[in-house]
Amino acid sequence: MGFDPAAEGWRPHEDRAMPRVMEALWRREEEAGWAYGFQTGEAQANGRGVVHGGILATYIDHTIGRVAREAAGDVPVATIQLDLHYLAPARIGGFVESRGQVVRLTRSVIFLRGELVCEGKAVLAASGIWKILGRP
């Protein structure tokens, strides 16, 4: 039997901003904030039979962008720089987890770092800068 996110405290998460190819989204509240996850499948495979790097890039951009938005007081933010380091392949059928943290928050930008983990193995590390687009 495969990984059961619900049994590990993950809850389904709808997010209309994500591409349909990544619809099996989950989230879980943790001590340090929200963690996000998605169940991989054949729709995310590249020619080598692992999760396509573009899918991983999209997912880390979106999920640590959500951390940035929360840090900004739930106002819109936009990625202005994103540095990625691919560490290992993510297996098709694996559950990819994403966590991000604020490194520095200023009045106009937020510096963050994040990581994707698949089956306990780090597959991508990222750092980036998000522009705060509006304040209430």
User: How far apart are alpha carbons 116 and 68 in whole angstroms?
Assistant: 16
pLDDT given at position 50 = 95
Q: Which domain holds residue 91?
A: 5-132
3-12 pLDDT, tens per residue?
Answer: 888 888 888 7
> How many separate domains does the chain show?
1
**Is the Cβ–Cβ distance between 90 and 116 less than 8 Å?**
yes
**Is the Cβ–Cβ distance between 105 and 53 less than 8 Å?**
no
pLDDT given at position 22 = 67
Which residues does residue 25 pair with via DSSP β-bridges, in sequence order? 38
Phi and psi torsions of 66, nearest 5°: -65, -40
Mean pLDDT check: name the lowest of 4-8, 73-77, 89-93, 116-120. Answer: 4-8
pTM over 0.75: yes
**Is the Cβ–Cβ distance between 80 and 90 less than 8 Å?**
no
Residue 17 has pLDDT above 80, yes or no: no
3-state secondary structure of 135: coil
Tell whether the torsion through CA atoms of 117, 22, 40 and 24 is positive or negative: positive
Residue 115 has pLDDT above 90, yes or no: yes
Token pair listed for 123: 């597959």
Secondary structure letter of residue 89 according to DSSP: P
Q: Beta-carbon neighbour count of residue 51 at 10 Å? A: 26
Token pair listed for 5: 């996110």
pLDDT given at position 89 = 97
The amino acid occupying position 8 is E
Supply the CATH number for residue 48's domain.
3.10.129.10
pLDDT given at position 21 = 66
pLDDT band at 67 (very low <50, low <70, confident <90, very high): very high
Tell whether the torsion through CA atoms of 61, 63, 69 and 71 is positive or negative: negative
